[in-house]
Structure 1
């Protein structure tokens, strides 16, 4: 229990506890012994010799054994939590009045037991030894091998121990506030010993005695505030009585009030002496103790003193300790300081006294919103909100702007606290009674989202504001009316509003935060019921409104892509409940099909296909109607592509033919990723197109990229059908699929060396996917596809691609700083995707482990960009074969050394 790293007092251990002696003498009937003098805490002096039996209270004197039993009774009452502490304290007070030394011994031994010490302070020790000698003796009773004591013990029986000790101390002071608190024996002796224990090298003594002393101080401070109020009231009543005319004055009453007032002043002086002794003897040393729990206790109780007795404590002399500890290294202490300040700033009466503190420590508080401990950061944002609300010029606009970006933080608690700060700050300028308040709120939030430059993270903003601005965010009627009104709003504001609205629809429908924010695994029954209600409300509102919104914004890529997410959150079965809603379904299908024909952007086409596939699900009675619309769209698209392709293959195609073929092929490629289109024989058309481009070198990337996508998805669908069939499947068809697979790999290999980066990158991704799906992943399922593996030339070509295009320095000659950063990030993500695909081929056995040498040798140079992928590849290779992995590393090192020497 005693170690050199534990804290010893920073200012020495020879603190002498002085108390002012009261003029009132103790009644001799209170105890048989004479009043005990207040002993000085001194490390000098030695304990007198005692037998072990006497030191443990096991000697012939029955009083010691009885005191031990009673102390155990107090300890067990607090530890178990089953006894009524008020009754226990009343019994102890009765015992104390009969024998005050026995009573104080019970209290002292209670503290010793709470510290986890097996020693006992006997009557003889208490009478003959100094406090320092008593503490030295108790220290020897500790089990030095144990690091646990009640305050830090875990388990159900210790869960409420600390609260029990604090309640016991508070009730003790309340029970003594009218008499024993002011005698010259009980609290002066008790506090003197606690002060010595708080200065001990034993952590358990310091922790326990500091907790008890600080809570004792808080209770005394509370009593002192009451006594001060009583003294003021008594003086006023006395002055009122004196100001009466002589004939109406009650002399006896005045004398009684003056006597009460003098007694209250004496009480004030006694309490002030106790408080000064505790503050200077314990707090001043322990608020910077090495143990963070002790420092946190001091900060917590300091907050109580400031609130309970502001006349004595609420000044810069005491506030500075809280400010200093905002810099503490331990998060628990910083958190306690912030919580203490919250309770101060919430009181309007304290704000004027906090002005100097605010100006002095505001910069530190602002830094703490980025604290590495999330709890500290959350509570700091709440504190800053209080400062903003309670003070006129507490935070400037620039200081508020430092908090706003936290709404996009991944920690949900911090983001929600920042969301509340943002919402209340933005709305502070709005009239609460205005009919257009909700409109103003939505506009302010949309403007903030635009200015934030986090335009891809609207879901995080909505989640952060959900608890405080849920009413406005779920006002679908207001948002759609703003978007559909003829005058309209600014284009940028429209985009932001649509994005926010769709993210709010998702949040209400799914009742879950964004993926990277921690969430509960299961919703409660009430949350599930509210989720269903919100989803029903969303469905009923947006079914008639969505076709109008799509019609208005069909030409805008960003807006229409966002709006097309809405049907995914509907209760789609509602469409079949009435004829009116079926008309709305027809309108939606018509709008989605028209949008697909208008746009070539992948984001729009992907969104359209998701909606159409959801509507075509077999679980809905209207799926036949949706299937017909999709079939008509596909028929017209395939027909258009076929006619344009014929012109292209004949060499007579013009720009319109090329554009039409590319548009049609884009639609078919996106549909191929979600639906089986193998019956339309698109692979032959696409393969002819790819082969012609490679052979003639007249490469059109707008045609070849979607052709590669369409071809690879065709092969996937074919492979899925083969793997679902029995081994007796037609061998001719299997041979045809394998031949198509081989031909496609040859074409992709040729595409790896073309100049157009879009075609080259798409071909590499297709190769990785095809080899992974049709390679070793099929092993063991009885499918003949397992025989397919890349030849040596393809392996070499793919390795060269990795070296030339993945492990290459980024192009620095990119225009525009912002555009440059965005393009660099996009290029890096693409390279990571390509490297991941290649490493998967190694891990799953499609490529030999030695192929990893082309990856491992770039670990050091490209650690920042690809270090996580390369490390994971190496780790998996060790699991596959530690011997082969070691050989691969050795080969890698040989190649690196050889290249270095050259």
Structure 2
């Protein structure tokens, strides 16, 4: 007895050769497939005979030519062959078997005498020997020739038509199909792959077609039984009763004959081919078994058949595992099947759960769909599922996250599979409460995970679009005892993320950079969502900002909600006062916080309002921005004086960060402040390096904005050019000071890593921005600049030091603000730009 090795690791790809000495069945070897996988679902026969088209062209087509053609001639050809078989069975059977050999890619001079005298296995061995001597395989299934485009479909259709055509005659004579099955089984167990592929397809299709006949006979049996029962009630005995009993007995005998043929093919073909070395054959077998169990449960819905579906859940080929999962999905979907699936579920439910985290994404998605069916049928408990379920919610592939999102919503939030169902479970209150309970489970990296989970569930959870109710929950001054501060934070993030999602924005970074495109209907839906959000938020938005303005965890997502609103509606609804309150509270939040995220969110919100508003609303935004700039400049001047007077530098650092975030979005007029920065730098060389970083950054940003304004001017004034060159020279002087200081102090340097990285990046950007090639042969040629070689060498020495720093150093700084602007990647990109653009001497 051979050992099943279908789940062993794949071997290297080799061309298969047929050995003359070895004609044994080799289904237990399992190398890596070399053919392209494809769907092999058998053709389901029709109960009714279709209109038989007329044969066009040559009326002497062979059966092989009929299969090779366009398929329209198959019903007529099958009918003609059956008529021939009824007249000369031996000759017709030889013709049919010759066609069987030919579709396998071989030819054998079979005679009527061979049917009785030559054993089947001897004929198949001769075919294998011929194939070995010929040295090549004619594989019609994989052929790219136009003539064989529909070969597989036509082949299955031929045998299906043959079974249906013979159902009232040769099918039950225990001669024709017994001989056909002998050859089909023997060919399916032969070494040549193409023989096994074609014979397996035919054998599997025969079972599918037999099922159609058995179901028709079963329907006849039920009709006869009803007639017999009715007749017995009228009269106990009589010719009519005897006739019905005889018909019932004959119908049952015919069903038994057909089921025996199914059983023979199952044992002789399927049980071997579901472990074949070729994954395509294994997939065909499992797909067919799934169809059989679903369409003929009276025979196949038993553990002795179902266990093959369970075993192939462990197949090494992803396509085979997927076929098994899809077959099981269809079975569990039918409620009447569930009682018979008890033992199977008990044996294989753990493996089904494991497959939700399969290495293949498509298998994982299908397995999650299967788990939904098991939950719907109450075949899995929460203890079985919850632990791995939470892990999959934050899985990286978006397809898995979408599938698990649907499962989380149905099972944990909406509880569609719960035995306790009622209207109270459908309310936004209940659904949001359960979602917040899930979000509370994640303590590590809560922001990212929260947005990932919301993205997973958003499409399936209507409560997330209940903007008014979410706002009312946040404004509730007496929330329930179970509603904690972390829940309020998650609810604010949920409101922000849901609003972004509703207007077509991504809340989780995509794995690609492709722009999202929407058709007219989709754009209209997104605009309607934006309108609904605005109307729901308009009156209560200022109240939310006022309530949470001091909370750094909540203020950032809360301020950004306005990016998902329609600003124009404030004017149309005469709600200008509420709009002005929103601006005022956003400005207050800007000065109340000093962290990067709240500052950036406030600037983003004000910039959006400035761009999207019109008329009086836009004037209001510009006024608030001017007030913000003036107040910020005043605070900076005051902070500089305080530091020079001996006070702490916290206020200066925070306001420099605010200025930097504002600089990233718009031009800020700081001409007088620029000179203050220079004077302060030169007079305080030993100050906090973070303060130095932001002083240099703001000087660089100001120079960049000045350069941009000159480039965009139609007429360039000499005064503007002189001012820019002066500021540029001053900034270069400050940067060179830190380069020289590092060079003189040796490899260890006298400044921290953050300042060294900032100096490298700002210098590189300045050299790149003012490279001579940018302004050659133009009115701005005087702006061109190229550093001398000693300066470049000092720059590169500082870059080398940072690039050679240990990974441990970067790991210690990973949670610092702006780390993405001061890590090794930032330095490498900056230096690479200089080399690629020839901005510095090589």
Both proteins in one fold, TM over 0.5:
yes
Report the alpha carbon displacement of residue 441 of structure 1 after superposing the two structures with TM.
Answer: 0.5
Q: Tell whether the 8 Å contact from 2:338 to 2:377 is kept in structure 1 after alignment.
A: yes
Report the alpha carbon displacement of residue 689 of structure 1 after superposing the two structures with TM.
Answer: 2.8
Give the structure 1 partner of residue 389 of structure 2.
Answer: 403
Out of 716, 720, 738, the residue aligned to residue 708 of structure 2 is 720
Residues 643, 838 of structure 1: alpha-carbon distance in 2 compared, 3 angstrom cutoff: closer
- Indicate the SS of the match to 1:614: helix
Out of 420, 425, 432, the residue aligned to residue 411 of structure 2 is 425
Out of 659, 674, 686, the residue aligned to residue 668 of structure 1 is 659
Report the alpha carbon displacement of residue 720 of structure 1 after superposing the two structures with TM.
Answer: 3.0
Report the alpha carbon displacement of residue 225 of structure 1 after superposing the two structures with TM.
Answer: 4.7
766-775 or 547-556, larger mean C-alpha shift: 766-775
Give the structure 2 partner of residue 217 of structure 1.
Answer: 207
Q: Distance in 1 between matches of 2:265 and 2:249?
A: 25
Residues 165, 659 of structure 1: alpha-carbon distance in 2 compared, 3 angstrom cutoff: same
Report the alpha carbon displacement of residue 259 of structure 1 after superposing the two structures with TM.
Answer: 1.6
Give the structure 2 partner of residue 9 of structure 1.
Answer: 25
2:500 is the alignment partner of 1:506: yes
Give the structure 1 partner of residue 172 of structure 2.
Answer: 182
- Indicate the SS of the match to 2:177: helix
Give the structure 2 partner of residue 838 of structure 1.
Answer: 827
Report the alpha carbon displacement of residue 209 of structure 1 after superposing the two structures with TM.
Answer: 1.4
Q: Tell whether the 8 Å contact from 1:228 to 1:268 is kept in structure 2 after alignment.
A: yes
Q: Deviations over 1:347-398 (max 9, x none)?
A: 2232233222222222222221221211100011111121122134x23425
Give the structure 2 partner of residue 826 of structure 1.
Answer: 815
Report the alpha carbon displacement of residue 603 of structure 1 after superposing the two structures with TM.
Answer: 0.8
Q: Tell whether the 8 Å contact from 2:703 to 2:724 is kept in structure 1 after alignment.
A: no
Q: Tell whether the 8 Å contact from 1:407 to 1:419 is kept in structure 2 after alignment.
A: yes
Residues 584, 146 of structure 1: alpha-carbon distance in 2 compared, 3 angstrom cutoff: farther
Out of 436, 440, 444, the residue aligned to residue 446 of structure 1 is 436
Q: Distance in 1 between matches of 2:398 and 2:28?
A: 46
Q: Distance in 2 between matches of 1:572 and 1:717?
A: 28
Residues 389, 848 of structure 1: alpha-carbon distance in 2 compared, 3 angstrom cutoff: closer
Q: Tell whether the 8 Å contact from 1:772 to 1:846 is kept in structure 2 after alignment.
A: no
Out of 603, 625, 634, the residue aligned to residue 630 of structure 1 is 625
Q: Distance in 2 between matches of 1:451 and 1:504?
A: 20
Report the alpha carbon displacement of residue 217 of structure 1 after superposing the two structures with TM.
Answer: 0.9
Give the structure 2 partner of residue 71 of structure 1.
Answer: 63
Give the structure 1 partner of residue 763 of structure 2.
Answer: 770
> Equivalent residues in 2 for 1:364-443 (5 A)?
364-392=351-379, 394-426=380-412, 427-428=414-415, 429=418, 431-434=421-424, 437-443=427-433
Report the alpha carbon displacement of residue 316 of structure 1 after superposing the two structures with TM.
Answer: 2.1
Report the alpha carbon displacement of residue 834 of structure 1 after superposing the two structures with TM.
Answer: 2.3
Residues 495, 618 of structure 1: alpha-carbon distance in 2 compared, 3 angstrom cutoff: closer
504-513 or 278-287, larger mean C-alpha shift: 504-513
> Equivalent residues in 2 for 1:599-748 (5 A)?
599-617=593-611, 620-621=614-615, 622-649=617-644, 652-654=645-647, 658-694=649-685, 697=686, 699-700=687-688, 703-724=691-712, 732-748=722-738
Structure 1 vs Structure 2 CA RMSD: 3.9
Out of 278, 283, 293, the residue aligned to residue 306 of structure 1 is 293
Q: Distance in 2 between matches of 1:533 and 1:318?
A: 53
90-99 or 323-332, larger mean C-alpha shift: 90-99
User: Unaligned regions of 5+ residues in structure 2, if any?
Assistant: 1-14, 30-57, 776-780
Q: Distance in 2 between matches of 1:12 and 1:848?
A: 61
Q: Distance in 1 between matches of 2:655 and 2:515?
A: 44
- Indicate the SS of the match to 1:510: coil
488-497 or 730-739, larger mean C-alpha shift: 730-739
Out of 228, 232, 244, the residue aligned to residue 257 of structure 1 is 244
Report the alpha carbon displacement of residue 322 of structure 1 after superposing the two structures with TM.
Answer: 1.5
Q: Distance in 2 between matches of 1:327 and 1:664?
A: 61
Report the alpha carbon displacement of residue 618 of structure 1 after superposing the two structures with TM.
Answer: 7.8
Q: Tell whether the 8 Å contact from 2:63 to 2:77 is kept in structure 1 after alignment.
A: no
Q: Tell whether the 8 Å contact from 1:118 to 1:142 is kept in structure 2 after alignment.
A: no
Q: Distance in 2 between matches of 1:403 and 1:747?
A: 57
Report the alpha carbon displacement of residue 180 of structure 1 after superposing the two structures with TM.
Answer: 2.3
Report the alpha carbon displacement of residue 560 of structure 1 after superposing the two structures with TM.
Answer: 1.0
> Equivalent residues in 2 for 1:126-141 (5 A)?
129-135=118-124, 138=127, 140=130
Report the alpha carbon displacement of residue 562 of structure 1 after superposing the two structures with TM.
Answer: 0.4
411-420 or 427-436, larger mean C-alpha shift: 427-436
Taking structure 2 as the reference length, the TM-score comes to 0.82
Q: Tell whether the 8 Å contact from 1:406 to 1:415 is kept in structure 2 after alignment.
A: yes
Q: Tell whether the 8 Å contact from 2:93 to 2:176 is kept in structure 1 after alignment.
A: yes
Residues 72, 165 of structure 1: alpha-carbon distance in 2 compared, 3 angstrom cutoff: closer
Taking structure 1 as the reference length, the TM-score comes to 0.77
- Indicate the SS of the match to 2:680: helix
User: Unaligned regions of 5+ residues in structure 1, if any?
Assistant: 14-65, 813-820, 852-879, 885-902
Q: Distance in 2 between matches of 1:620 and 1:147?
A: 75
2:508 is the alignment partner of 1:522: no
Q: Deviations over 1:327-365 (max 9, x none)?
A: 111111111111111112222232233222222222222
Q: Deviations over 1:131-178 (max 9, x none)?
A: 445445555379967677343345887676544443443343233323
Q: Tell whether the 8 Å contact from 2:68 to 2:154 is kept in structure 1 after alignment.
A: no
- Indicate the SS of the match to 1:152: coil
Q: Tell whether the 8 Å contact from 1:67 to 1:106 is kept in structure 2 after alignment.
A: no
Q: Distance in 2 between matches of 1:712 and 1:600?
A: 21
Give the structure 2 partner of residue 597 of structure 1.
Answer: 591
Q: Distance in 2 between matches of 1:702 and 1:240?
A: 98
Q: Distance in 2 between matches of 1:257 and 1:93?
A: 29
Report the alpha carbon displacement of residue 84 of structure 1 after superposing the two structures with TM.
Answer: 7.3
Give the structure 1 partner of residue 485 of structure 2.
Answer: 491
- Indicate the SS of the match to 1:201: coil
Report the alpha carbon displacement of residue 439 of structure 1 after superposing the two structures with TM.
Answer: 1.1
Q: Distance in 1 between matches of 2:584 and 2:325?
A: 58
Give the structure 2 partner of residue 349 of structure 1.
Answer: 336
Q: Deviations over 1:682-704 (max 9, x none)?
A: 3222233333331xx2x245644
Give the structure 2 partner of residue 29 of structure 1.
Answer: none
Q: Distance in 2 between matches of 1:710 and 1:486?
A: 42
Out of 559, 582, 590, the residue aligned to residue 588 of structure 1 is 582
Q: Tell whether the 8 Å contact from 2:270 to 2:285 is kept in structure 1 after alignment.
A: yes
669-678 or 171-180, larger mean C-alpha shift: 171-180
Report the alpha carbon displacement of residue 589 of structure 1 after superposing the two structures with TM.
Answer: 1.2
- Indicate the SS of the match to 2:538: helix
- Indicate the SS of the match to 2:196: helix
Q: Relative contact order (alpha carbons < 8 A, sep ≥ 6): 1 or 2 greater?
A: 2
Q: Distance in 1 between matches of 2:136 and 2:822?
A: 54
Q: Distance in 1 between matches of 2:24 and 2:711?
A: 74
Out of 189, 193, 208, the residue aligned to residue 203 of structure 1 is 193
Q: Deviations over 1:813-849 (max 9, x none)?
A: xxxxxxxx9x575379948952123323443345999
